[in-house]
């Protein structure tokens, strides 16, 4: 084994052992603990768990790569703005009110606020969104294991499945929460250490958020020399309209993600739910303000190392990542990615700003930028191993939260609410654990056969969440006239329209921009608008909710425990 593989194995064994120990100590025997950790998680810990739950493999592994190569820096900022801005919407418009409503899941809220038919539609939507999202996480696990432990993707995904199965099935939300607090600590340390070290080494400034500003002029000049638009130039690969559409889809999708929203039910109170969102924003900002610097430093060094260098003289990091198929030549006509080759026969690899993201003789996969950054920056093997462990922590933390959404939707919203209302706590837990085990198997298959690179797959999940959940949650809280039929048809039309567009665009166009230049990652905004329109129109022509439900919707928005909210929490039927 190489030094990098040895250190990776050390960190992976240590962190995985810690996760399993925490899960064992946090094991639960009731549904409240399994679904929402008993509602007793302190705000700072809940904020860290939310951050780990949401800062997935896409954030840790792919975000810097997107910023570096998708749109030459500027266009990649849609992910920074969208994913972070969505938490502001979540904190202001949804989190405290959903916590006051006091249900386990989004389908639970939909079922009580609207009706049982709408609940079932919400269950389907939650499962679809969660499976699309979890595919990206398991794909990220495969990338890490393939590179750092020299095992194939399938083996890596299976190992990840086994670990998640243990701590998610045993501890439910309680075990997942405290494991995610630990996973956040691992991933943020693993992300910041190499960023600080490279910034200090290159610029003499240990704060990467400041240091990377000193190299932007050099990076702009280098890209100009290579025939590529400047790194900071706007709208070179993405139009202004698509910047808005993609940013909005990611923002509203963040506010509608079922595995993130359920986190606020684990808070001790409505006030704690608000502070959980504040803590989460702080923890997220640590990574999201660092990602642009990792992108800039890595891209500059890649260009210096690769451009004009012969294949025989390539640095070791280039050879290693090429050997696992994540550095290739440009895509062939049939979509395959051949090995890097000197296509023009001049003896060196050229980066000249042709059609691909990086060049016409080499293509760098977005998913390797963070994972390879310690090697690119010449950092020692222990740092490389730590980054690998951090990437696994990011992927597994989000995967466990998503799998719990699937499990709780099946066990609570289908089995208990519809099939067997007399089910005991033991029976509900058994169904929940069986559902989670089945979901892990499906997630593993999707991780082995993902429909795109990690962040692209995750972006599709955000679009689906925006098109299905955000409108009916906001209207359910702030518009007492919103009806069950309106919410049901809004979710159905919004979700199906968005899914159909995404599948059609990916299948027909590959990575093209589709109809009217709208990419599949931005169509969630259109689907959300369609959902709003359908929900409002159908609500206006159907029977109003009961007077008691309308009054409850009014009371949800006021501080304190009002009479109807208390009655609802005790299970009184409000019609």
The pLDDT tens digits along the chain (575 residues) read 578 888 888 988 888 888 878 877 776 666 666 666 666 778 888 888 888 877 777 678 778 888 887 656 677 788 888 888 888 888 788 877 887 777 667 888 888 889 889 989 998 888 888 887 777 777 777 777 777 777 787 888 888 888 777 766 666 677 778 888 888 888 899 899 989 988 888 888 889 988 888 888 888 888 888 777 788 887 777 788 888 998 999 899 888 888 777 777 777 777 777 788 888 888 988 888 898 888 888 888 888 888 888 888 998 888 888 887 778 887 776 667 778 888 778 888 877 654 334 446 788 877 788 888 888 888 888 888 888 888 888 777 777 777 777 888 888 788 888 888 888 878 888 888 888 888 888 888 877 876 554 555 667 788 888 999 999 999 999 999 999 999 999 999 999 999 888 877 765 444 455 677 788 888 899 999 999 999 999 999 999 998 888 888 888 877 665 655 555 555 555 55
Is 263 within 8 Å of 180 (Cβ atoms)? no
- For residue 375, give the nearest of 291, 302, 286, 325 by alpha carbon: 302
Distance CA 395, CA 381 (A): 22
Distance CA 216, CA 549 (A): 56
Q: What is the dihedral of CA 471, 481, 545, 552, to 10 degrees?
A: 80
CA-to-CA dists, residue 566 to 100, 272, 510, angstroms: 10, 18, 52
Distance CA 473, CA 279 (A): 23
The helix (run of H) or strand (run of E) holding residue 363 is strand 363-364
pLDDT at 359: 46
HEC letters along 255-297: HCCHHHHHHHHHECCHHHHHHHHHHHHHHHHHHHCCHHHHHHH
User: What single DSSP character describes residue 543?
Assistant: P
Is 181 within 8 Å of 52 (Cβ atoms)? yes
Burial class (CB in 10 A: 0-12, 13-18, 19+), 562: middle
Q: What is the dihedral of CA 201, 207, 208, 212, to 10 degrees?
A: -80
Q: Per the structure block, which two tokens stand in for 525?
A: 């905004």
Burial 450-489 (b: 16+ CB within 10 A, else e): bbbbbbbbbbbbbbbbbbbbbbbbbbbbeebebbbbbbbb
Is 403 within 8 Å of 344 (Cβ atoms)? no
Please list the residues that pair with 327 across neighbouring strands: 364
The helix (run of H) or strand (run of E) holding residue 37 is none
Question: Could you say which of 3.40.228.10, 1.10.760.10, 1.20.1730.10, 1.10.3210.50 is the CATH number of the domain covering 3-23+39-297+380-460?
Answer: 1.20.1730.10
pLDDT at 509: 43
Distance CA 247, CA 238 (A): 12
3 state SS of 401: helix
Question: Hey, how many other C-beta atoms are within 10 angstroms of the C-beta on 554?
Answer: 12
pLDDT at 33: 65
Q: Where are the domains of the chain?
A: 3-23+39-297+380-460, 327-364
User: What single DSSP character describes residue 29?
Assistant: S
Length of the chain: 575
Question: Hey, how many other C-beta atoms are within 10 angstroms of the C-beta on 189?
Answer: 14
Q: Per the structure block, which two tokens stand in for 127?
A: 């499962």
pLDDT at 572: 53
3 state SS of 230: coil
Question: Hey, how many other C-beta atoms are within 10 angstroms of the C-beta on 204?
Answer: 9
């Amino acid at each position: 084994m190489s030094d990098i593989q040895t250190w990776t194995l050390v960190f992976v064994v240590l962190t995985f052992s810690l996760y399993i120990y925490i899960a064992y100590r946090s094991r639960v025997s009731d549904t409240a603990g399994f679904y929402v950790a008993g509602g007793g998680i302190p705000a700072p810990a809940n904020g860290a768990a939310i951050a780990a739950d949401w800062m997935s493999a896409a954030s840790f592994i792919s975000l810097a790569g997107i910023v570096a190569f998708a749109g030459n820096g500027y266009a990649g900022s849609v992910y920074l703005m969208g994913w972070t801005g969505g938490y502001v919407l979540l904190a202001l418009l949804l989190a405290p009110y959903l916590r006051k409503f006091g249900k386990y899941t989004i389908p639970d809220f939909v079922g009580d606020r609207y009706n049982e038919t709408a609940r079932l539609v919400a269950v389907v939507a939650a499962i679809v969104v969660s499976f699309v999202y979890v595919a990206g996480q398991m794909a990220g696990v495969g990338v890490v294991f393939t590179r750092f432990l020299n095992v194939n993707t399938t083996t890596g995904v299976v190992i990840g499945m086994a670990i998640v199965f243990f701590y998610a099935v045993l501890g439910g939300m309680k075990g997942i929460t405290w494991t995610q607090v630990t996973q956040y600590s691992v991933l943020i340390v693993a992300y910041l250490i190499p960023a600080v070290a490279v910034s200090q080494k290159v610029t003499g400034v240990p704060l990467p958020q400041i240091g990377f500003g000193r190299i932007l002029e050099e990076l702009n000049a280098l890209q100009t020399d290579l025939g590529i638009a400047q790194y900071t130039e706007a709208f070179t690969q993405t139009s202004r309209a698509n910047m808005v559409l993609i940013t909005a889809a990611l923002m509203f999708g963040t506010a509608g993600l079922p595995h993130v929203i359920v986190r606020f039910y684990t808070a001790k109170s409505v006030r704690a739910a608000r502070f959980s969102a504040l803590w989460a924003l702080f923890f997220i900002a640590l990574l999201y303000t660092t990602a642009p610097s990792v992108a800039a430093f890595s891209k500059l060094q890649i260009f210096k190392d690769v451009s004009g260098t012969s294949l025989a003289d390539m640095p070791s990091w280039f050879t290693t990542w090429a050997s696992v198929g994540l550095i290739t030549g440009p895509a062939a006509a049939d979509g395959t990615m051949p090995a890097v080759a000197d296509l023009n026969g001049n003896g060196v690899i050229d980066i000249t700003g042709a059609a691909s993201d990086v060049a016409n003789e080499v293509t760098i996969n977005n998913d390797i930028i963070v994972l390879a950054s310690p090697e690119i920056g010449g950092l020692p093997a222990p740092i490389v191993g730590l980054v690998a462990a951090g990437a696994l922590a990011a992927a597994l933390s989000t995967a466990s939260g998503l799998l719990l959404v699937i499990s709780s939707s099946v066990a609570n919203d289908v089995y208990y609410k519809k099939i067997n209302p007399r089910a005991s706590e033991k029976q509900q837990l058994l169904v929940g654990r069986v559902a989670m085990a089945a979901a892990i198997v499906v997630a593993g298959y999707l991780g082995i056969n993902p429909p795109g690179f990690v962040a692209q797959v995750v972006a599709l999940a955000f679009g689906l969440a925006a098109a299905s959940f955000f409108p009916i949650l906001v209207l359910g809280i702030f518009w007492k006239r919103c009806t069950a039929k309106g919410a049901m048809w809004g979710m159905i039309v919004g979700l199906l329209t968005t899914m159909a567009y995404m599948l059609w665009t990916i299948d027909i166009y590959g990575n093209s921009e589709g109809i009217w230049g709208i990419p599949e990652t931005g169509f969630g905004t259109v689907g959300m608008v369609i959902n709003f329109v359908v929900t409002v129109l159908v609500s206006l022509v159907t029977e109003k909710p009961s007077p008691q439900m309308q009054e409850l919707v009014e009371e949800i928005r006021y501080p304190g425990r009002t009479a109807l909210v208390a009655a609802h929490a005790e299970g009184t039927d409000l019609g």
